[in-house]
Amino acid sequence: MNAWVKIRSTVPLQEVLKGRDNNLNIIRFVAASMVLISHSFALFTGDPKTEPWRSTLGMSMGGIAVDIFFCASGFLVAGSLIASQSARDFIVARALRIYPGLWTALLLSVVAIGMLESSYSIAGFFSSIDTWKYLAKNAVMVLGDAVYLPGAFENNPLQGAVNGSLWTLPLELRAYLVLVAIWLLATALRRVVAVTFSQVCIVATAAVAGFAIWSIFAGQPNKFFTLLVVFLLGVVFRLFGRWITLNVWAAAAILLVLSAILSLDLRLFRLAYIFALPYLLLCLVYLPSGRIRKFNEVGDYSYGIYIYAFPIQQFLVAGWVSSVAGLITASFVTTLLMAVLSWHLVEKKSLALRERTRKS
């Protein structure tokens, strides 16, 4: 019988880039669940500072999960862009992955809140301009998200917030646009000088990292640029995979160094963590093998968990749970059900449409 988990000590990254025999699905599933757990503390108590990791790491569990998402996203979409060699195909693929599931979640949550939870009458809720602003702004996302609906969750500890997870989607979409801009710039530069997409990407990553480092040590970290660095580092690891070897002992050494830095200075730890994350993440993606990889056969439920968890948690806090542990348990079960339905009824079909679009 195959072991559940077997750890390979060393893997050249170039050897495992092709195909989907890896742990990305389960890692993203865990990351989405981390966001759910992290939000449970703030949603139940009304105070985000009650999340336990904030006091020890200076970052929340949900914040680390978002970093994981951005790094994994950069790594994956860089491969997609290289494979398609087309900015148009890349944009279509990203839109089909994000928007159908998002639009479905928005419509369901607005209808459920208008019918069951808002202090407004049903007619008043659906005739309010704020309801339609919420739908319109969140349906596009590039210009930012909207958090509140009329009369929603007015008596909850975290009053009024409908879906606090959506704030990362505009930043992710902008990261995609930055990558497209780098691709187009490299394409234009190739006409006059001998440069490659990889080289232009390195320069862009260094520039963004410089600004992000400055903002961290200035005590005013810029959230978008910090996440953009993590995203672009994922891109760089994909582009330069032929020169990278994943090693379990190197990953252990990095973790030890991070632990030592954490005891000295939180800002320095934050900086070191950003640059260590891509290597550590890819070690988790490719070094463990065995039956754990059968999770890939189940489906990709991470996005569904991410977009449904927050409003479901707010519904549960409004009158169904009496503890943080109860909220975590009940919301995970309910959200997972919605994520499974979202994957099989919406997201998976959108991905199939993307494949047909590529062939046409």
**Structure confidence by residue, pLDDT tens digits, 261-294:** 999 988 899 899 999 999 999 999 999 998 899 9
Q: In this predicted structure, what is the pLDDT of residue 360? A: 47
Would 302 be classed as within a structural domain? yes
Would 348 be classed as within a structural domain? yes
Would 347 be classed as within a structural domain? yes
Q: In this predicted structure, what is the pLDDT of residue 217? A: 84
Mean of the pLDDT values across residues 238-261? Answer: 96
Mean of the pLDDT values across residues 18-46? Answer: 94
Q: In this predicted structure, what is the pLDDT of residue 220? A: 83
Give per-residue pLDDT as tens, 65-119. Answer: 999 999 999 999 999 999 888 889 999 999 999 999 999 999 999 999 999 999 9
CA angle 34, 35, 41 (to 5 degrees): 95
Query: Looking at 45-49, 69-73, 171-175, 251-255, which range is the least confident one?
Result: 45-49
Residue 287: CB atoms within 10 Å: 21
Would 298 be classed as within a structural domain? yes
Give yes or no for residue 355 having a pLDDT over 70. no
Distance from C-alpha of 182 to C-alpha of 61, rounded to nearest angstrom: 31
Q: In this predicted structure, what is the pLDDT of residue 320? A: 87
Here the tokens at position 259 are 């632990």
Distance from C-alpha of 360 to C-alpha of 61, rounded to nearest angstrom: 42
Give per-residue pLDDT as tens, 149-205. Answer: 999 999 999 998 999 999 999 999 999 999 999 999 999 998 888 889 999 999 999
β partners of residue 148: 161
pLDDT tier at 35 (50, 70, 90 boundaries)?
very high
Distance from C-alpha of 314 to C-alpha of 306, rounded to nearest angstrom: 14
Task: Please check whether residue 284 is in contact with residue 254, taking contact to mean a CB–CB distance below 8 angstroms.
Answer: no
Give per-residue pLDDT as tens, 198-218. Answer: 999 999 999 999 999 998 888
Kindly report the pTM of this predicted structure.
Answer: 0.94
pLDDT tier at 356 (50, 70, 90 boundaries)?
low
Mean of the pLDDT values across residues 226-239? Answer: 96
Mean of the pLDDT values across residues 337-353? Answer: 94
Here the tokens at position 33 are 């669940």
Looking at the structure of the chain, the number of domains it has is: 1
Give yes or no for residue 255 having a pLDDT over 60. yes
Would 1 be classed as within a structural domain? no
Distance from C-alpha of 199 to C-alpha of 192, rounded to nearest angstrom: 15
Would 67 be classed as within a structural domain? yes
Long-range contacts of 3-7 (CB under 8 A, 24+ apart): 3/290, 3/291, 4/290, 4/291, 4/292, 5/288, 5/289, 5/290, 5/291, 5/292, 6/288, 6/289, 6/290, 7/248, 7/287, 7/288, 7/289
Q: In this predicted structure, what is the pLDDT of residue 19? A: 78
Give per-residue pLDDT as tens, 113-145. Answer: 999 999 999 999 999 999 999 999 999 998 889
Compute the mean pLDDT over every residue in the chain, rounded to the nearest whole number: 93
Share above pLDDT 70 across residues of the chain, in percent, rounded to a whole number: 98
Task: Please check whether residue 321 is in contact with residue 44, taking contact to mean a CB–CB distance below 8 angstroms.
Answer: yes
Would 156 be classed as within a structural domain? yes
Distance from C-alpha of 146 to C-alpha of 155, rounded to nearest angstrom: 19
Would 278 be classed as within a structural domain? yes
Give yes or no for residue 2 having a pLDDT over 90. no
- Domain extent for 321: 6-359
